[in-house]
Amino acid sequence: MSRPQQLMTPGPTAVPPEVLHALARPVIHHRSPDFAEVFGVAEERLRAVYRTKNDVLVFTASGTGAFESAIVNLHSPGDRVLAVSQGEFGERWQKLAAVFGCDVVPLTYAWGESPTPDDVRAALAESGAGTVLLVHSETSTGVVCDLEPLLAVCSDAGALSIVDAVSSLAAVPLETDAWGADVVITGSQKALMSPPGLAFASVSDRAWERAATASLPRFYWDWERQRKAQAQGSTPSTPATSLVVAVVEALGLVLEHGLEASFARHRALGRACRAGIKQMGLELYSPDDDSAAVLTGALTPDGIDAVALRLALRDRHGITIAGGHGELVPRLFRIGHIGHVGIEELAGTLAALEEELAAAGADVEPGRAAPAAYEAFGTVATA
């Protein structure tokens, strides 16, 4: 295996040493008072990060698994679902809902666009859909949509909302209860600063009512079984106990520093990254505003291959950044700045990028991106 990598990706993200140490504790049994205690703390801290009084269900799975759980627990065959997409993950949820027999009404934006309340309102009025699928942070493009008014449109229309918040929760503001989000899905491996393998779904009272009559079959994903087991301090089948222990530690760190501080730090990191990218003269792919607090996407200059650039960063600097999808593969790279990452790691990444761009023949003068990033970052505490 090559040298250890600094993950500057939009998930999995770097995990703090305290969390790695927690992961290495002896395994605990999932039907024991020890686990019940840890699990109770996990649930309490999850509710705090979600800003909700709702149940937060804990699945051993990726975020896709938890999203699937929402589809199969809330629908009967033929139920009409408005599936809003502005990128790769929105398209995934359109496909997933269709696979399970939902009558999917797509509202598809070009990659990089952001959904608007007017469009969603009109599509809901026309379709009469009972559920709306929304992507809060579209990890493929860096777009974080303005979720609150979209959720208000859903509530007004009496439609349930299912929100993909996998790369947004704890990085940017998301008020589950105050904004009336029915189901919010996230994963352990992004701003929650934990290894991948756990996924979470908050479930509102309205969603529980719907689940009681929804007829799609479910067993592993069955929310009612899950709720009963969680009330007893465990899960229906063996959970990834070590990951639960790790996530408790990570959530403790997040909450200790405070969610508002986290939001401010992510916003400042986004500013810093954009400043560095622009200093290099590169074209931004992600939005050029404070909404882009999760990741920054940029295009390489003509003639510079993004894949080769990423490999050079990886092999020569020990820094992993993400690439693009489809036809954007040769040009797009994405720098994640969520979770356990500070201005130091970001500035180091930008400095390494400058070096490699210059080495590849781009018109870039090394030594300017990091200072620009530090300046844009300002005086916000890195926590």
List 176, 189, 262, 286, residue binding a second copy (CB under 8 A): 189
Using CB under 8 A, which of 87, 142, 173, 187 touches a second copy? 187
- CB-based contacts of 246: which residues, under 8 Å, 6+ apart? 15, 19, 20, 22, 23, 188, 194, 195
Locate 150 and state its tokens.
Answer: 């979209």
CB neighbours (10 Å) of residue 144?
30
Q: Is 213 in the site for a second copy (CB under 8 A)?
A: no
Q: Does 314 bind a second copy (CB under 8 A)?
A: yes
Task: Please report whether residue 2 would count as binding a second copy according to CB under 8 A.
Answer: yes
Q: Does 253 bind a second copy (CB under 8 A)?
A: no
177 Cβ neighbours under 8 A, 6+ residues apart: 51, 52, 53, 54
Taking residue 47's Cβ as centre, other Cβ atoms within 10 Å add up to 17
| Under 8 Å between Cβ of 320 and 8 | yes
Cis amide prior to 371 (ω within 30 degrees)? no
Among residues 26 and 326, whose Cβ is nearest to a second copy? 26
What is the nearest approach in angstroms of a second copy to the Cβ of residue 216? 9
Backbone angles phi, psi at 9, to 5 degrees: -115, 155
**Residue 305 binds to a second copy (criterion: CB under 8 A):** no
Question: Rounded to the nearest 10 degrees, how much is the dihedral formed by the CA atoms of 286, 380, 349, 143?
Answer: -10
Q: Is 341 in the site for a second copy (CB under 8 A)?
A: no
Q: Judged by CB under 8 A, how many residues of this single chain contact a second copy?
A: 59
* 11 in contact with a second copy (CB under 8 A): yes
* Cα distance between the two ends of the chain: 32
**Does 28 help bind a second copy (rule: CB under 8 A)?**
yes
Q: Which is nearer to a second copy, 303 or 326 (CB)?
A: 326
**Which is closer to a second copy, CB of 275 or CB of 312?**
312
CB-wise, 89 or 109, nearer to a second copy? 89
Find the binder of a second copy among 48, 64, 371, 382 (CB under 8 A).
64
Q: Are 56 and 278 in contact (CB under 8 A)?
A: no
Judged by beta carbon, residue 14 or residue 170, the one nearer a second copy is 14
Site residues, a second copy (CB under 8 A) = 1-2, 4-5, 7, 9, 11-15, 20-21, 23-34, 37-38, 60-65, 68, 95-96, 99-101, 187, 189, 195-197, 217-220, 236-243, 314, 320, 322
